[in-house]
Structure 1
Amino acid sequence: MSTRPQLPAPDPDETGPYVHLGFATARPGREDEVEQLIVALAEPLRAEPGAIEFHVHRDRADRRQFVIYEMFRSKADLEVHLAQPTTQAFVQAIASLVEGPLRQQFLRMCSELPAAIAVAE
């Protein structure tokens, strides 16, 4: 399972943050382990330079489905995050707990970032 996907380049006119979604399906009976593993990332990830937001979501209808929401100041900051030992260890640890590879999606923010969330360079 690769932790270093090819990240799409920001659009030339893009000024907002770089957003990453990760999707995982826990193996039956491993749901709580997956949740604990992902939630354990919150504190170290939020302390990384360039990290703006990190949230873990679990589907209400299918408790095996997880969505990770990460917002970074830039593509470069996300690339640094993906190379971190914490991220590498997470990918290795979760591999046996989920079905298939983690699915990833990279988003362009179209709405304005709330003023309360600073995106300082």
Structure 2
Amino acid sequence: MKNLVPDHAPYVLVGFAHPKPERAAELRELLLSFVEPTRAEEGSLEYHFHEDKDRPGTFVFYEVWRSKEDLDRHLALPHMRAFWDERMDYLERDLDIRWLSMHSPYPRPVAG
């Protein structure tokens, strides 16, 4: 049977952040500050930041990257390296990151 995930499938992840209660507001602002710059990066197809309605202070991010190289370039940026190094100052437990296989991508709009 043929593989259902195309060879050119994007790199997709969903992550969950559970901050220390006293650092939740600070982490919310920090993660919000990443949205616009990340969306502007080459290879960033989608980047969304959410908060769980049933568990305020539980943050969820959803990212779609064109390639592993684009994601690696994003993670190597100084602000992302600093966040990775300092994340446990904000979190009760480490980030829960889940890799997804996208089977239903939206078509990209044609520039014109």
Q: TM-score over 0.5 for the alignment? A: yes
Q: 1:27 matched to which residue of 2? A: 20
Deviation at 1:93, TM superposition (A): 4.1
Identity %: 37
Gaps of 5+ in 1: 1-10
Q: Indicate how the Cα distance of structure 1 residues 117 and 98 shifts in structure 2: closer, same or farther if over 3 A, else same.
A: farther
Q: 1:80 matched to which residue of 2? A: 73
Q: 1:55 matched to which residue of 2? A: 48
Deviation at 1:117, TM superposition (A): 5.0
Q: 1:8 matched to which residue of 2? A: none
Secondary structure (helix, strand or coil) at the match of 1:99 reads: coil
8 Å contact 1:52–1:73 — kept in the other structure?
Answer: yes
| TM-score (norm. length: structure 2) | 0.83
Between structure 1 and structure 2, the one with the greater Rg is 2
| TM-score (norm. length: structure 1) | 0.77
CA distances 1:50-99 after superposition (whole Å, capped 9, x unpaired): 11111111111111211111111112211111111121122234321111
CA distance in 2, matches of 1:64, 1:79: 27
8 Å contact 1:31–1:63 — kept in the other structure?
Answer: no
Q: 2:38 matched to which residue of 1? A: 45
RMSD of Structure 2 on Structure 1 (CA): 2.0
Secondary structure (helix, strand or coil) at the match of 1:64 reads: coil
Higher helix residue share = 2
